[in-house]
Chain A
Amino acid sequence: MIVASFVLLMLALGLGFLRFLRGPQLWDRLLCGELIGTILVPVIVLTSHTLGEDFLMDVAIALTLLTFIGTAVTASLVDEESSE
C-alpha cells in the first residue's frame, strides 16, 4: 500500500513538472511550483513514517512554510506590479 501511494505521488510530481516546463505564463509556473511543494510534503512524511526517522517531519514542516510564503509573496508582488 505504501509503495502504491509512493508511485502515485511520484507520478503526480512528474506531471506537475511537465506543466512547469510547458506553462505559457508566469502564473502557471507559480501554480506548479506550489503544487510540487505541496506534493513533496506527503512524500517526506511518508518517508519519515517508513524509516521511523522523526526529524524528517520537521523538514516537511519547514518545506510547507517555505512554499506557502514564497508563493504568496511572489503572487502579491507580481499582482501589485502589473496592476499599477
Chain B
Amino acid sequence: MSSISDFFVLLGSFFFFCAALGVVRMGDFFQRIQVTGLASTLGAVLFFVGLMLKGANPWKLSFLLLFFFLTGPLVAHLLGRGAFRSKGRISNKTALDPRLKRR
C-alpha cells in the first residue's frame, strides 16, 4: 500500500513539474495555457489521491481534490478567453480556427 501511494504522489509531482516546464518552454500564451491547465489539474488529482492513500485527513484532502478538479479548467478557460478577447499575441505556429474572428 505504501509503495502505491508513493507512486501516486511522485507521479503528481512529476506532472506539476511538466506544467512548469511547459510554461517556460512554450512560445505562445495559448500554448502555455494548454499545457499548464491540463497538467496541473491532473497532477493535483494524482497527488491528493496519493496522500489520501497515505491516510492524511481525508475530508480536507477530498475538498482540495474536488476544488482543484473543478476550478483548474475554469481558470484556464477564463484566462484564455480574456487573452483572446484583449488581443493577446498569437504566434504563427498556433493554428487558429478560421471561424473565430478577433474583434
**Interface SS majority for chain A:** helix
Q: How far is the CB of A32 from chain B (nearest CB, A)?
A: 6
* A side interface size, CB within 8 A: 47
B40-56 vs A, CB cutoff 8 Å, 1 = contact: the mask equals 10011001100100101
Q: List A contacts of B75 (CB < 8 A).
A: 34, 68, 71-72, 75
List residues of B whose CB falls within 8 A of some A CB: 6, 9-10, 12-14, 16-17, 19-21, 23-24, 29, 32-33, 36, 40, 43-44, 47-48, 51, 54, 56-57, 60-61, 63-64, 67-68, 71-72, 74-75, 78-79, 81-83, 85-89, 103
**Interface SS majority for chain B:** helix
A32-63 vs B, CB cutoff 8 Å, 1 = contact: the mask equals 10110011011001101100001001101100
Asked whether B10 lies within 8 Å of A27 as measured between CB atoms, the reply is no
